[in-house]
Amino acid sequence: MKLQPTGGTPSPFEAIRIVSTSKLPANDGHDWSAEMVAVAQRRDRASFMRIYDHFMPRVCLYLKGMGSTAAIAEELAQEALLRLWQRAASYDPALSRVSTWLFRIARNLHIDRVRKETGWMLVQHALEAEEADHDGRTGSSAEAYAEHTRLKACIDRLPATQARLVRMSYFEAKSHHEIAEELGMPLGTVKSSLRRAFLKLQADVRGAA
Amino acid sequence: MKPAHHLDPATVVAFAAGALSEAMAVVAATHLAGCSHCHEQVRDAERIGGVLVEQQQPDGAGAARREKLRAAMLERLDETPVEAPGLAPALPAAPDPDRLPAPLHPYFGTSFGALKWRWMAPGVHCIRSAGTGGGQLFMLRITPGRSMPLHSHGRGELTQVLRGAYDDVLGHFGPGDVADLDSEVMHQPVTAAGVPCICVAALDAPLRFPGWLARRLQPLVGL
């Protein structure tokens, strides 16, 4: 395993302080992948529960936005976090952030269980098999972490319309067509705005070394 | 085989967000299975999704409920993981030219040879997939050197070439290429000489109106 705990690992003291803060700011400097490494290497329950406390309500909110009832959202969010614990051994901090991993798991659970799109999981498995074959991306956990922080800042700087379209896509799973109808915008404008937003965010993730 | 025509970044975002209709997602995935460039784009879009999920501010309500769920999670940590059986597709030992791309298997079966084509117009055969809740998903087989009527699409259209090729105002589309069109594009594809052109295509439809409405809307607008 390519696990290299970084300097960002909180000491037990810091960790306690972080979890005991009742209201966590969105841009807190916590390096969740370091916690995940502790889970992967030592099956560290305290680390896992810190990840749980931070992400569980967020994943739950996400699933409700996607159209799940409160009860289903809770059930699927629990399931998503449990999978994170169970599959921790295959976590590679250089390849993805904890938040990316959870996002994928939660989205897949939603499409599979709530929308009941039979092909989706098969498609995801086919893509993952493909990915295992040619994974060209390398990097360290520290790089992925810096990237994550830049991305957060860049999302905050998006123009209002672009930010709105991004949110409607990710949090309400609205198609371009539905967004166009709801906002009374031409379909082409929806697509070009989303395109600009994505390219901006992507450039920020990839460009700044 | 490196594709020359890729997914629109707006489609990449919609795919990663789970916001494409099922039909469009199947065609996008068929392209992604053979295109490392677009695959990497999807991974970037998923990173954005992860950050967005993390940026949300949950309210502090329901502390008692949260405590209960937390205790339930702690209890489950000793469970033995249940692996979903039979989900991983069995990969053939050698590349089989008759095998359809894996994302198409639930909708069209596993091989080109077993496809049940239906005549649609001179030189044009079609198979519509029944299994999608949103959007129209179909395969087309068009004889070489045939010109299709000029048309545009009321909604978005996504077409992936599997075999053969065609040319239109946007360029030459061969195996692995995807045409990601929105409603403004008028085009008149002409299939290339040689083998029949086989494509899988999806027309967009509102995700939230599956079933009867999707069935009533005329598929293959303008064809």
User: B5 with B189: CB under 8 angstroms?
Assistant: no
Q: By the CB < 8 Å criterion, does B78 face chain A?
A: no
Q: Do A198 and B9 touch (CB under 8 A)?
A: yes
Instruction: Quote the pLDDT of residue A105.
Output: 94
User: A40 with A1: CB under 8 angstroms?
Assistant: yes
Q: How far apart are CA A57 and CA A137, in angstroms?
A: 31
pLDDT tens for A141-169 read 666 677 778 888 888 899 999 999 999 99
Mean pLDDT confidence for A115-119: 79
Q: Do B206 and A175 touch (CB under 8 A)?
A: yes
Instruction: Quote the pLDDT of residue A171.
Output: 93
Please check the confidence at residue A1 and state whether its pLDDT lies above 90. no
Q: Do A119 and B53 touch (CB under 8 A)?
A: no
In DSSP terms, B138 is beta-bridged to B128, B201
- Chain A positions in Cβ-Cβ contact with residue B77 (cut-off 8 Å): 45, 48, 82, 85
Q: Which of residues 128-167 of B touch A (CB under 8 A)?
A: 131-133, 155-156
pTM above 0.90, yes or no: no
Q: By the CB < 8 Å criterion, does B41 face chain A?
A: yes
Mean pLDDT confidence for A18-22: 40
pLDDT tens for A165-200 read 999 999 999 988 889 999 999 888 999 999 999 999
Q: By the CB < 8 Å criterion, does A181 face chain B?
A: yes
Report the residue from A101, A111, A155 with minimal CB separation from B51.
A155
Q: How far apart are CA B178 and CA B5, in angstroms?
A: 5
Report the residue from A103, A123, A176 with minimal CB separation from B53.
A103
Chain A to chain B Cβ contacts (< 8 Å) = 232
Q: Within 13 Å of residue B193, how many CA atoms lie on the same side as its CB?
A: 0
Rounded to the nearest angstrom, the minimum Cα separation between B62 and chain A is 10
Instruction: Quote the pLDDT of residue A120.
Output: 83
- Chain B positions in Cβ-Cβ contact with residue A133 (cut-off 8 Å): none
Report the residue from A121, A122, A148 with minimal CB separation from B105.
A122
Q: By the CB < 8 Å criterion, does B173 face chain A?
A: no
Percentage above 90 pLDDT, chain A = 44
Rounded to the nearest angstrom, the minimum Cα separation between A98 and chain B is 8
Instruction: Quote the pLDDT of residue B219.
Output: 46
Q: At what angle do helices A160-172 and A187-207 cross, to 10 degrees?
A: 90
CA-closest candidate to residue B179, choices B42, B24, B16? B24
> What tens-digit pLDDT sequence spans chain B (223 residues)?
689 999 999 999 999 999 998 889 999 999 998 899 999 999 999 999 999 999 888 877 678 888 999 999 999 998 877 665 544 555 555 678 899 998 898 899 999 999 999 998 888 899 998 767 667 899 999 999 988 777 666 677 899 999 999 999 889 999 999 999 876 677 788 999 999 999 999 987 543 333 343 344 444 433 3
H runs (alpha helix) in B77-192: 105-108
User: A66 with A17: CB under 8 angstroms?
Assistant: no
Please check the confidence at residue A207 and state whether its pLDDT lies above 70. no
Q: By the CB < 8 Å criterion, does A94 face chain B?
A: no
In DSSP terms, B136 is beta-bridged to B203
Instruction: Quote the pLDDT of residue A148.
Output: 76
Q: Where are the beta strands (DSSP E) in chain B?
A: 118-121, 124-128, 136-142, 157-163, 166-168, 171-173, 178-181, 190-191, 197-203
Instruction: Quote the pLDDT of residue A7.
Output: 43
Mean pLDDT confidence for A29-34: 81
- Chain A positions in Cβ-Cβ contact with residue B207 (cut-off 8 Å): 173-175, 178
Instruction: Quote the pLDDT of residue A21.
Output: 39
Q: Which of residues 25-84 of A touch B (CB under 8 A)?
A: 26-27, 45, 48-49, 52-53, 55-62, 66, 74, 78, 81-83
Average pLDDT, chain A: 80
Q: Report the residue of chain B nearest A173, measured CA to CA.
A: B19
Q: How would you classify the pairing of strands B136-142 and B124-128?
A: antiparallel
